[in-house]
Amino acid sequence: METKSASVNQVGKRKLQIVVFSVIGSIIAIGAVTTLTVLLVHGKEPVLNGTSTSTVKISTSTRAATTTNTGAATTTSTGAATTTNTGTAPTTSTRVTTTTNTGAATTTNTGTAPTTSTRATTTTNTGAATTTSTGAATTTNTGTAPTTSTRAAMTTITYTIANSSQTIVSITSPGDPIVGLYNTSAGQPTGAYNGRYSGSAENPPKAIDGLLSTKYLNFGAQGYSGASLNDPGVNTGFFVTPTISTASVAVALLFATANDFPNRDPLTVTLEGTNATDVEALHLGSSWTLIYSGPTGIDRATAPARNTYMQQQGFFNTIPFRSYRLLVTSQRGRDSCVQYAEAQILGYI
């Protein structure tokens, strides 16, 4: 009986030991799990029996350095430093240094210094310094210094004056009463007249006879052909009373060069008009009104061909006059006289 009882006791002890060991094992296992969980929560690598079993830095982390991270430094991040970032320094950013940025320094920027800007330094700018600008210094500008000005240096004159558009004709004609002048300037009385030209073959009527083969030559104050002076033809010319009309409106001059000596070409002239009815009044300076002061159309730099009409010189005038006075104010160079084949006064009647 005692032997049997001892066996029973041994068996009981063994069971108790097994239970105790099981409890201890469970406690150890729970502790290990707890430790592992704590380590995982704090992002540390637990070491069991000297072997690394860390499961952190996983591919699907949503916080840092992952492929699909939506927080920071990821490929598709919408926060910062990403390819499609719309916040700061992204490729497609609409704020700063981007290709399609509409804020500043972008290609299509409509705010500051863009290529298609409609405010400054653009091709189609309609404000200033553009090709099609209608304000100033443009080809089609209708305000200042236009190319198509109808005031001076026109090849063909088609003035519309006093609401009447008429064909321009030569007011002067062969046979009109004409008197040669010298020592005379615009606004002043006649200094001297007749007798200062080379005979009847080159007298004042030849200036308005319509023939390029003839010419009007005037020696001016010196009165003869022996001397060679600077501008001897200055203050020479003529006054004429057209027979075509007693109230013609002059709007242009048409000169033609003489047959020789380019230095004798008149370069600039004045044209005056008067409505005086007697010859004596035509010699008074107070009778005349200045209509034009400018070039004859004969080139100053290069001598043109001889016996040739020049470009007519147009000017603005609406006042009808009965008589006209034309005076030379400069010539090409040093010579003994001034000469020209034609000096026609153009206008309408």
pLDDT of 2: 44
Question: Considering the entire predicted model, what is its pTM?
Answer: 0.55
| Least confident range of 80-94, 200-214, 331-345 | 80-94
> What is the residue whose two structure tokens read 């910062």?
80
Q: Tens digit of pLDDT for each residue in 3-30?
A: 444 444 554 555 555 544 555 555 444 4
Parse the chain into domains and list their residue ranges. Answer: 169-348
CA 311, 316, 318, 323 torsion: positive or negative?
A: negative
DSSP three-state, residue 8: helix
Helix, strand, coil percentages (3-state) for the chain, rounded to 5, are: 15, 20, 60
Q: Tens digit of pLDDT for each residue in 278-325?
A: 999 999 999 999 999 999 999 999 999 999 999 999 999 999 999 999
Domain 169-348 sits in CATH 2.40.50.180: no
Q: Tens digit of pLDDT for each residue in 136-160?
A: 333 333 343 333 333 333 334 444 4
Would you put residue 78 in left (φ > 0), alpha (ψ -120 to 50) or beta?
Answer: alpha
For 71, other C-beta atoms within 10 Å of its C-beta total 14
Question: Distance between CA 178 and CA 344 in Å, rounded?
Answer: 12
Would you put residue 208 in left (φ > 0), alpha (ψ -120 to 50) or beta?
Answer: alpha
Q: Tens digit of pLDDT for each residue in 151-196?
A: 333 334 444 444 457 899 999 999 999 999 999 999 999 999 886 7
The per-residue DSSP string of 190-248 comes to --EESS-SSTGGGSGGGGGSS-TT--EEE-GGG-SSS--BSSTTTT-EEEE--SS-SSB
For residue 169, list its beta bridge partners: 347
Comparing 37 with 272, which gets the higher pLDDT? Answer: 272
Phi then psi for residue 273, to 5 deg, are: -130, 155
Q: What is the mean pLDDT of residues 255-283?
A: 97
Q: What is the mean pLDDT of residues 202-219?
A: 97
pLDDT of 293: 99
